[in-house]
Amino acid sequence: MEIGLLGGTFDPVHLGHLIIAEEVRCKLGLSKVVFIPAGQPWLKVDRVITRGEHRLAMVRLAIASNPFFEVSLAELERSGPSYSVDTVSALRDEYGPEVGLYFIVGPDALVELHRWKEPARLAGLCQLIVVGRPSSREEDLSALHAALPGISSRIRCVDVPQIGISSTEIRQRVRAGASIRYLVPPGVERYIYEQELYFP
Ligand code: ATP
Ligand code: MG
C-alpha cells in the first residue's frame, strides 16, 4: 500500500491543499492521503495559531466528500512542538515496513527542510514529494543540498495545477471583509463565519 501524507498548519485548509493532495494521489496511484494538522508548529511560533479543534474541524469538513482523504490526530494529540520526523516515524511503526510513505511538501517547505529536526532520518522514512507553488520564485536549494548531500535521490517532483492560494491570504481576506468564496470549500467558509475565525 502507498500512502500520501500532507502535514500543515491548515489555518485554514484551502483548495490549494486539496488540489495538491488529489493530484499527487492520482499521479502516484496512492491508496489515500492523510492530512496531518500540526499541533504547535515550531516554525510558526511568532504568530498565534488558531486552536487545534477549529483547524481539525475545518480539515474534516474539507475532506468529507473524498473517500481517499483522511485526517490524523497524531500531531494535535502530542504536546510540545510538532516535528515531522516524529510523526512519520510513528506512522511508519503503525503501518509497518511494507507500506510506501510519500510526504507531500510545497517548495517553500522544501527549502527549509535542512532546518527541520533530523531531516536525513525523515528522508529515510519516506519519499519526499515536492509540488509547485506559484508565489515561490525559483527556490534556492543550495543550502539544502549542502546540508544534506544526496537528498535529491529522496525527492520527487510532481506537477500540479498552480494554485496561488495561501492560508495567510484567506486570513487577511476575512479580516478585511473580502470574499473567500471558491478559495475554501463551502463548509469551511461557513465554519469560519459561524465561529468568527480571523475576524478583526
Ligand atoms: P500559511 O500561509 O499560514 O503559511 P499555507 O497556505 O502555506 O499557510 P500550510 O498549512 O502552511 O498552508 O501548508 C501545508 C503544506 O501545503 C506546505 O507544504 C505548503 O507548502 C503546501 N501548500 C499550501 N498551499 C499550497 C499551494 N497553494 N500550492 C502548493 N502547495 C501548497
Ligand atoms: Mg505555509
User: Which pLDDT score, from 0 to 100, does residue 142 have?
Assistant: 83
**Pocket (CB within 6 angstroms of ligand 1):** 8-11, 16-17, 20, 105-106, 108-109, 131, 133, 163, 165-168
Q: Is 14 exposed, middle or buried (0-12, 13-18, 19+ CB in 10 A)?
A: buried
- Cα–Cα nearest to 135, from 173, 172, 164, 157: 164
Q: How much distance in Å is there from the Cα of 118 to the middle of ligand 1? A: 21
User: Which pLDDT score, from 0 to 100, does residue 135 have?
Assistant: 63
Mean of per-residue pLDDT scores for the chain: 92
Give me the CATH topology for the region 2-194: Rossmann fold (3.40.50)
Ligand positioned closest to the Cα atom of 103: 1
* pLDDT greater than 70 at residue 42: no
Q: Which ligand 1 atom is at minimum distance from the Cα of 168?
A: 2
Q: Which sequence spans correspond to the domains of the chain? A: 2-194
* pLDDT greater than 80 at residue 41: no
User: Which pLDDT score, from 0 to 100, does residue 114 have?
Assistant: 87
Mean pLDDT, rounded, for 173-183: 98
User: Which pLDDT score, from 0 to 100, does residue 193 have?
Assistant: 98
pLDDT digits (tens, 9 = 90+) for 78-109: 888 889 999 999 999 999 999 999 999 998 88
Mean pLDDT, rounded, for 115-120: 92
The set of cell numbers assigned to 45 is: 511560533
* pLDDT greater than 70 at residue 44: no
pLDDT digits (tens, 9 = 90+) for 133-175: 776 566 778 888 888 888 888 899 999 999 999 999 999 999 9
The angle at the Cα of 186, spanning 13 to 32, to the nearest 5 degrees, equals 50
Centroid of chain to Cα 134: 16
Mean pLDDT, rounded, for 25-50: 86
CA distance 178 to 195: 17
CA distance 133 to 107: 7
